[in-house]
Amino acid sequence: MTVKEPTQDVPRISIFTGPFGTGKTEVAINYALRLADHHETVTLTDMDVVTPYFRSRDMAERLQARGIEVVAPPEITKRVHLPAVSARIWGSLQRANGLTVIDVGGDAQGARAMGQFNALLERTGYIMYLVVNPYRPFNATVERIRETLEVIETNSRLEAGALVSNPNLISETTLDVVQEGHCMVERASGDLGLPIAFLCLESRLLEEDVEEFCSQPILPLKRHFRPPWEE
């Protein structure tokens, strides 16, 4: 199948957020790697102060080997006040060249961590993507997706510009699972008035007939993390 490229004509700063289980860290990493195939300077900034299992910073060496700079405080926990360790993050956002991908926790605490950069982001321009996996509790209905969006936008003082459709059941994902979940994300898109930027699809499913139900660009996904219950 012909894959529409989701990383062309993108703003300098792309923010990925979403509750635990939506796969937003996998999406952010795969998106940064895709950008690195087409752009010389790419930075991945890990601001997820929420999720203990899947962190962009745990991929730092592999990302750096691909030419991606990883910006992340070495140890962020819920007890650390982020501004005390954010000098490199400020620097990465203020650069005039290159592209920056930001991985942000998808609850009130994670959104507030992003909110401290509100004024700078408004000046430089950004797009914030809400990653949606309708097979997770926080995304199980359009109303739950709306509630998640409101919490993130209120606490970050930033506006989401688009949804990212990431319907999956991890290793049990089939094309039928993707199609049913993507239809749910499309309903949310219509109700929220936010476009779907792209659909995420594991590379093993790329040869399937996705174009029958998806008109959006597709981001091929390679899984870099396994949940503890699969190990």
Structural domain count of the chain:
1
Whether 7 is in a domain gets the answer: no
- Segment 74-103 mean pLDDT: 69
Whether 184 is in a domain gets the answer: yes
- CATH of residue 93's domain is 3.40.50.300
Whether 72 is in a domain gets the answer: yes
Whether 93 is in a domain gets the answer: yes
Predicted confidence at residue 190, as pLDDT, reads 97
Predicted confidence at residue 194, as pLDDT, reads 98
Phi, psi of 197 (to 5 degrees): -70, -45
Phi, psi of 100 (to 5 degrees): -125, 130
Whether 3 is in a domain gets the answer: no
Token pair, residue 9, equals 């004509």
Whether 167 is in a domain gets the answer: yes
pLDDT bin (cut points 50, 70, 90) of residue 209 is confident
Which domain range does residue 80 map to?
13-223
- Segment 162-187 mean pLDDT: 94
- Segment 122-135 mean pLDDT: 95
Q: Which residue has the tokens 């995304």?
A: 139
The answer to whether residue 81 scores a pLDDT higher than 60 is no
Whether 39 is in a domain gets the answer: yes
Whether 231 is in a domain gets the answer: no
- Segment 77-99 mean pLDDT: 67
**Position with higher pLDDT, 108 vs 76:** 108
Greatest Cα pair distance in the chain: 49
Predicted confidence at residue 77, as pLDDT, reads 39
